[in-house]
Structure 1
Amino acid sequence: MLDLFHSFWQQKVLIAVTTAAVAAIAVGYVLVAQPVYQASTLLRPAAINELDALNRSEVYTLPPSDALLKVGAALDSYETRLNYFRAHPELFEPLQKKGMTPEQSFEIFNRDAINLIRPDPKSGDLSSFLKLQLTYPDSVNGPQILNGFVEYAINNQRAQISADLKVIINNRLRELDEKINAARSAYRSDKDAEIAGLVEGDTLQTAKLKDELKALRLQLRTERSDRIAQLQEAIAIANSLGITQPTTPSAMAAATQGTSSRGMRTEITSQALPLYFMGSKALEAERAALLKRTSDDFTNEKVSDIAKKLQMLEVNRQVEMLGKRTNEDLFLKNIEPLRAEVARLGGLNTDMSRLGLASIDRKAQTPLDPIKPKKGLIVGLAVVLGLLLGFGIATVRYFVRQRRETL
């Protein structure tokens, strides 16, 4: 063992040269290698007041934690990254490699350079922060790319929320319009049914009154015919008795007995006198008048009452007023809340360009030192490896020399 260490001392120049050579190679690599930097930005949930206007709309509810998760989904979306890459080709031009399409160059950059860090799922709070890291060569303006991408993703989500809000509002307005139209249709149906009921009732009442009038007139004609028959019979009896002038049974008895007609007679009886006591002249005059009569309507007050009712039924003022309504919306029931909601939704602001979805706690800044190559570490490892290599070569030479001496 002492001989080996003595051999190392004798070969100290070889070991030193080997170490220096390896260290020189490492120094050369460090000087030639392209530095790689790493920038990061930190996002936290937005303040409650940033989303208050949106949440108070009662149309779209978005807590700060959900807003941050939306931004995180956009930052992690391949489509969003690719769209940003296509929208800013000047930022990624140094990454373009010969023989590769821009999309292929972006694929490599997206896979190896961008990293989204989320909270540990075991912590139970997945929306406390988002950290986006970008590893880039010194030929690329990493902080500008990173900050621009975060702003692009947030604006993209704002536009998406604005579009969703417009769709939801339009759907609500369409639904409210359908309810109002349904109320209009229901009102028209109810109005038509009411008019039909009123017209039907008037028609039925008119028919009943006409039937009653017809029956009443028939009754009056029958009564007139019966009266004529009674008068005909009474005239025949009066002529047979020789009664031409109105008289009474007692007057006839006095005339038969020759009693003087001077004086007054009072006759009280509980029975109606037969019609022929009216005398043939009066009866014939009444019969003649009845035969000449063309209408019996004036003989009964019910006829005029029925005619009055029929006249009133010719025009139903309620039906007329229902038909003349021009602004039917004034008569719709229980639609004021719907109209108020339509007015409220129509006044909502759908411009979400200033909506605060996330709070940028720390923007990406240009780092002071690259993350690789680590110059001190590489040179230090090179010196160690050079020493090991020098000792290894010296050891091999020692054993070769020993073998030769043995032979």
Structure 2
Amino acid sequence: MSAPERHQTHRAESDEIDLRDIALAIYAGWKWIAISILACVAAGSAYAFIADPQYSTDIAYIPAPEGLRALESMPGSYESLSVFEEFNKRLSSYNNFKSFYDQDPGYFTSIKKENELPEIEPRSFFTKNIKLTSPSDDSDSSRTIAINYSNSLEGPTLLNDYFQWTEKNHINDLADRADRAVDRIVDQNRATMDAHLKSQGEDTEARITRLREEDQIRIAELEDELQAVKQSIVSSREERIRILENAEQIALRLGIEKPTTPRDLGRQSSENDVVYAEINSQDGIPLYFMGTEALSAERVVIESNLEEEVKTAEVRNIEQQLQQLKENQTINALLRRESLSPFSVQHNELRQQNAILAAKNISEEEIDVASVSHWAYQPGSPDSPRIRLIVSLSLILGAMIGIFLLLAARFFASVKNHREKVA
């Protein structure tokens, strides 16, 4: 076999990996592997000892529909899910956390452990350490707010206080919102009540004006009617005078001076009997049988009292109506009204509504936004560093580093021997 062929065969054999050699090399170099493992475990243990433990805890809560029953009677919309979402937005708002941070400057100092915690920057702390989570299932309305914190801070106390402070402020805002809604409706009702009173006053004035106009028209009509009745009485008297004059002339011609009767007057000729029959056929005994003296006396009296007023039943009735119209009690009653509110139905309904609204008093103790499933608590072990995990990884990493270094040393030794043989 030629030299090139032997060289190629030897190179091919050297490129093959012999697991037995590797195992033997690892066995032979176990001390180095052990040293690597001990070094990694020592480094991991030192890190676990030096590193500040980090904890996490959370609060789980759900909506509390029963806590909003007191608001159902108040004006406005207070749906449970809507109020609950508003509360979640508050919890996840940095501005809300900043207000919580600013409300008591000494609060964060009081929850530090032995003042080991440096000054907290609110925005950075809130962004990095507080998270609000929502379920992936839309039908699940529960929520969780969690906090990550170091061992130098009382994280559960901080999270619980922040949750309770936010809920209290939200409840205060709900109560204030209800009170403002009541005040707004009451003010609107008062403005409407004033408008109704103004309208009622205008209606009353218009009614008085109409009544006065109607009374004036009726008075004019009655006065005309009264004048007509009086004129009718005068006309009747004038007609009576004319009748008396005619009867008087007849009595004068018949020579009747004293009142008499046809029987007393005596029998006349047959021609006179016809005349008497015609006269007697009228209403009762003819007037001229009264005689000229009686007829003349009656005529003189009527003529002397021709224009004198006579209180007949009709005249008295008309004058009574005129007196009532001149003293219209409806107008007088309307003018005597000191307040128009009792006579406005709309005004009284709104006043009653305002009285009912004013009687509604919502206290903060009656309102509840969220029902807590569990509060934040101090966990039994930190989230990091995890000593068991660090030690396990240190063992694995140390073994891997030791084996790698051992194999690397063996490889470089093999390369060096190969070069010496070739040379």
Alignment match, 2:412: 400
Q: CA deviation at 1:377?
A: 1.0
Could you say which residue in structure 2 is the equivalent of 1:260?
Answer: none
Deviation of 1:348 (Å): 1.8
Structure-2 residue corresponding to 1:211: 224
Specify the alignment match of 2:357 in structure 1. Answer: 345
TM-superposed deviation, 1:214 = 3.1
Matched, 1:71 2:84: no
Q: Structure 1's 234 and 96: CA in aligned 2 closer, same or farther, altered over 3 A?
A: farther
Contact 1:244–1:280 (Cα < 8 Å) also in 2: yes
- Give the equivalent residue in structure 2 for 1:309: 321
Post-superposition offset of 1:70 = 4.3
Report the CA distance shift for 1:95/1:172 in structure 2 as closer, same or farther (over 3 A): farther
- State the SS of the aligned residue for 1:136: strand
Supply the AA of the counterpart residue of 2:402. G
CA contact (8 A) 2:54 2:385 kept: yes
Shift of 1:290: 6.6
CA deviations over 1:250-296 (Å, ceiling 9, x no partner):
9xx99xx9xxxxxxx99944469999999998888777767755734
- Alignment match of 2:208 (pick from 195, 201, 204): 195
**Structure 2, unpaired ranges of 5+:** 1-17, 110-115, 270-275
For 1:301 and 1:362, the matched residues in 2 are separated by: 98
AA aligned to 1:8 is I
Question: CA distance change for structure 1 residues 318 and 215 in 2, over 3 Å: closer, same or farther?
Answer: same
Distance 2:52 2:406 in 1: 35
Bigger shift: residues 276-285 or 133-142: 276-285
Residues 17-26 or 277-286, more deviating: 277-286
State the AA in 2 paired with 1:142. Answer: G
**Measured at CA, do residues 347 and 399 of structure 1 come closer, stay the same or move farther in structure 2, by a change above 3 Å?**
same
- Paired residues of 1:35 and 1:372 also in contact (CA < 8 A): yes
- The equivalent position to 1:19 in structure 2, one of 24, 31, 37, is 37
> Is 2:373 aligned against 1:361?
yes
Q: CA RMSD in A?
A: 4.2
The whole-number CA distance in structure 2 between the counterparts of 1:308 and 1:79 is 84
Farther-moved stretch of structure 1 (313-322 vs 338-347): 338-347
- In the alignment, what sits opposite 2:5? none
Task: Give the equivalent residue in structure 2 for 1:162.
Answer: 175
**1:87 equivalent in alignment to 2:87:** no
Letter in 2 for 1:11: G
Q: Deviations over 1:96-153 (max 9, x none)?
A: 55xxxx6xx222221221122333334x132xx3322111011111011011011101
Equivalents in 2 of 1:307, 1:67: separation in Å? 76
Q: 1:106 and 2:118 equivalent?
A: no
Give CA-to-partner distance per residue, 1:298-342, whole Å, 9 cap, x none.
286544432232222210123222332345444444776655543
2:364 aligned counterpart, secondary structure: coil
In 2, Cα distance between equivalents of 1:34 and 1:198? 95
> Could you tell me whether the CA contact under 8 Å between 2:74 and 2:182 is conserved in 1?
no
The equivalent of 1:262 in structure 2 is none
Q: Is residue 38 from structure 1 mapped to residue 56 from structure 2 by the alignment?
A: yes
Contact residue 193 and residue 346 of structure 2 kept, 8 A = no
Q: Deviation string for 1:199-232 (max 9, x for gaps)?
A: 3332221010112233444555666778888999
Determine the C-alpha separation between the residues in 2 that align with 1:211 and 1:192: 28
Q: Report the CA distance between 1:369 and its aligned residue.
A: 1.0
Q: 1:244 to 1:95 in 2, by over 3 A?
A: farther
Unaligned runs of at least 5 residues, structure 1: 258-264
| 1:377 matched to 2:389 | yes
Q: Cα 1:370–1:268, aligned 2, differ >3 Å: closer, same or farther?
A: same
CA distance in 2, matches of 1:282, 1:19: 167
Question: Are residues 389 and 319 of structure 1, via their aligned partners in 2, closer, same or farther at CA, if it must alter by over 3 Å?
Answer: same
Matched-pair identity in %: 25
Secondary structure, counterpart of 1:297 in structure 2: coil
Per-residue deviation, 1:189: 4.7
Structure 2: which amino acid aligns with 1:153?
T
Looking at structure 1, the residues matched to 348 and 243 of structure 2 have their Cα atoms a distance apart, in angstroms, of 74
Confirm whether residue 125 of structure 1 aligns to residue 125 of structure 2: no
Q: Is the 8 A contact 1:75 1:81 kept in 2?
A: yes
Aligned-pair distance for 1:39?
1.7
Secondary structure of 2:310's counterpart equals: helix
Q: Distance in 1 between matches of 2:321 and 2:107?
A: 94
Measure how far apart 1:384 and its partner are. 1.4
Shift of 1:28: 1.4
Please report how far the alpha carbon of residue 406 of structure 1 lies from its aligned counterpart in structure 2 after TM superposition: 1.4
Distance 1:95 1:296, change over 3 A: farther
Separation of aligned partners in 1, 2:398 and 2:311? 147
Contact persistence 2:280–2:286 (CA under 8 A): no
Q: Could you tell me how far apart the structure 1 residues matched to 2:374 and 2:222 are? A: 93
Contact 1:243/1:277 (<8 A) preserved: no
| Match in the other structure for 2:7 | none
Work out the CA distance in 1 between the residues paired with 2:311 and 2:82: 92
* Cα distance between partner residues in 2 of 1:383 and 1:271: 158
Distance (whole Å) between structure 1 residues aligned to residue 311 and residue 174 of structure 2 = 87
Q: Would you say the 8 A contact 2:129–2:148 is kept in 1?
A: yes
Preserved contact between residue 297 and residue 303 of structure 1 (Cα < 8 Å)? no
The answer to whether the 8 A contact 2:279-2:286 is kept is no
Residue 307 of structure 2 aligns to which amino acid in structure 1? Answer: S
In the alignment of these two chains, the number of paired residues is 388
TM-score between both structures, scaled by the size of structure 1: 0.76
Partner SS for 1:39: strand
Q: Distance in 2 between matches of 1:34 and 1:117?
A: 26
Higher mean C-alpha displacement, 357-366 vs 187-196: 187-196
Instruction: Single out whichever of 167-176 and 378-387 deviates more from structure 2.
Output: 167-176
Q: Aligned with 2:38: secondary structure? A: helix
- What aligned pairs does 1:231-310 form with structure 2 within 5 A after superposition? 268-270=279-281, 295-298=307-310, 302-310=314-322
CA distance, structure 2, for counterparts of residue 107 and residue 88 of structure 1: 17
Counterpart of 2:416 in structure 1: which amino acid?
R
